[in-house]
Amino acid sequence: MSRKAADIINDQVKKKPNSVLGLATGGTMMGAYAALVDDYKQNGTSYQQIKTVNLDEYIGLEPEHPNSYHYYINGHFFNRVDIPKDQTYLPNGLAKDIEAECQHYESLIEQIGGMDLQLLGIGQNGHIGFNEPGTSFESTTHIVELASLMRQANSCFFNRLEKVPTHAITMGIATIMKSKKILLLVSGKKKAHIIAQLFTGKVTTQIPASILNTHPNVIVIADQEALSLLS
Ligand code: F6R
């Protein structure tokens, strides 16, 4: 699954060496980044002209914090290929004025030409980025308050619940939908229910990812467990 995803990303990079890649973090993506790094080592696919924009970042975490998305993407990808760091962008969760940072990030994405290919994972409730059920399909980059269930689920990574960030910055759903191509990766039994709902084709803000049904160029790569409830 990860190799397949890496093949599609490699194809994009080879066809358009100055592509803008939209990146995601999370467990599902780790294998894909590892496969890209393998390909870089074996075939020397170059990222010298690539620009990247990440979907999201916690507010208040230093980039060096092991749970920050800066730390994740540096460790899994940027530090292992030849991409110049000044061509990689993530929302700045330490900005003094977070509202202004959201607007800045949205205009930055536009300035660099928008994403040619956006990598996406999906939450069990259908979230994409940090866009939880109920988020407007018109939303651009914005601040989100993290649901207490999500904070509890993440508390094991932060030792104490009080240390889990309360807010994050995320690309909005409209931001994501502007990407020319979207690659959704889904793995595991826990995602089977949401994938089955996604494939009914019904579009509702209660399932943020359902908007992908209206995008002209989406590829879904899923494993058998994730597809096990599809009829
Ligand atoms: C991460 C992100 C999230 C994850 C989603 C799935 O940048 O935006 O929406 O893609 O929560 O996470 P995993 O892959 O850990 O199940």
Kind plus residue range of the DSSP H or E element containing 39: helix 27-43
pLDDT of residue 149 exceeding 80: no
- What pLDDT, on a 0 to 100 scale, did the predictor assign at position 64? 96
Mean pLDDT of 165-183: 97
For residue 150, give the nearest of 133, 171, 138 by alpha carbon.
133
Mean pLDDT of 159-187: 95
In degrees and rounded to multiples of 5, residue 157 shows phi and psi of -80, -10
- Strand-pair category, 88-89 with 51-54: parallel
Residue 170 in contact with ligand 1 by CB distance below 6 A = no
Q: Residue 146, Cα to own-chain centre: how many angstroms?
A: 16
In percent, how much of the chain has pLDDT > 70? Answer: 100
- What pLDDT, on a 0 to 100 scale, did the predictor assign at position 44? 95
pLDDT of residue 95 exceeding 80: yes
For residue 142, give the nearest of 168, 123, 118, 107 by alpha carbon.
168
| pLDDT tens-digit readout, 19-75 | 999 999 999 999 999 999 999 999 999 999 999 999 999 999 999 999 999 999 999
User: What is the residue extent of each domain of the chain?
Assistant: 2-181+202-222
Long-range contacts of 5-8 (CB under 8 A, 24+ apart): 5/31, 5/32, 5/35, 5/119, 5/183, 5/185, 5/221, 6/32, 6/35, 6/36, 6/38, 6/39, 8/117, 8/183, 8/219, 8/221
Distance CA(6)–CA(221), nearest Å, equals 11
pLDDT of residue 153 exceeding 90: no
Q: Which atom of ligand 1 is nearest to the CA of 26?
A: 15
For residue 36, give the nearest of 70, 79, 69, 91 by alpha carbon.
79
pLDDT of residue 150 exceeding 80: no
Q: Which residue has 């290919």 as its token pair?
A: 117
| pLDDT tens-digit readout, 127-146 | 999 999 999 999 999 999 99
CB 165 within 8 A of CB 157: no
Residue 32 in contact with ligand 1 by CB distance below 6 A = no
- What pLDDT, on a 0 to 100 scale, did the predictor assign at position 159? 83
- What pLDDT, on a 0 to 100 scale, did the predictor assign at position 16? 98
pLDDT of residue 154 exceeding 90: no
Residue 68 in contact with ligand 1 by CB distance below 6 A = no
Distance CA(143)–CA(141), nearest Å, equals 7
Q: Which atom of ligand 1 is nearest to the CA of 56?
A: 7
Between the CA of 183 and the centroid of ligand 1 the distance, in Å, is 13
In this structure, the chain runs to a length of 231
Helix, coil or strand: residue 201: coil
Residue 119 in contact with ligand 1 by CB distance below 6 A = no
Distance CA(63)–CA(66), nearest Å, equals 8
Between the CA of 73 and the centroid of ligand 1 the distance, in Å, is 13
For domain 2-181+202-222, which architecture applies?
A: 3-Layer(aba) Sandwich (3.40)
Active site residues: 56, 125, 127, 132
pLDDT of residue 77 exceeding 90: yes
Report residue 214 as tokens.
Answer: 């209206």
Nearest CA to ligand 1 atom 8: 129
Longest dimension (CA), the chain: 49
Element counts in the chain: helices (H) and strands (E): 7, 9
Q: How confident is the model at residue 189 (pLDDT cuts 50, 70, 90)?
A: very high
Nearest CA to ligand 1 atom 9: 129
DSSP designation for 190: G
- What pLDDT, on a 0 to 100 scale, did the predictor assign at position 163? 85
Q: How confident is the prediction for the chain on average, in pLDDT?
A: 96
ipTM (interface pTM): 0.98
Mean pLDDT of 155-167: 87
Pocket test for ligand 1, best of 25, 30, 135 (most atoms within 8 A of CB): 25
Q: Which residue has 């093949």 as its token pair?
A: 7
In percent, how much of the chain has pLDDT > 90? Answer: 91
- What pLDDT, on a 0 to 100 scale, did the predictor assign at position 151? 84
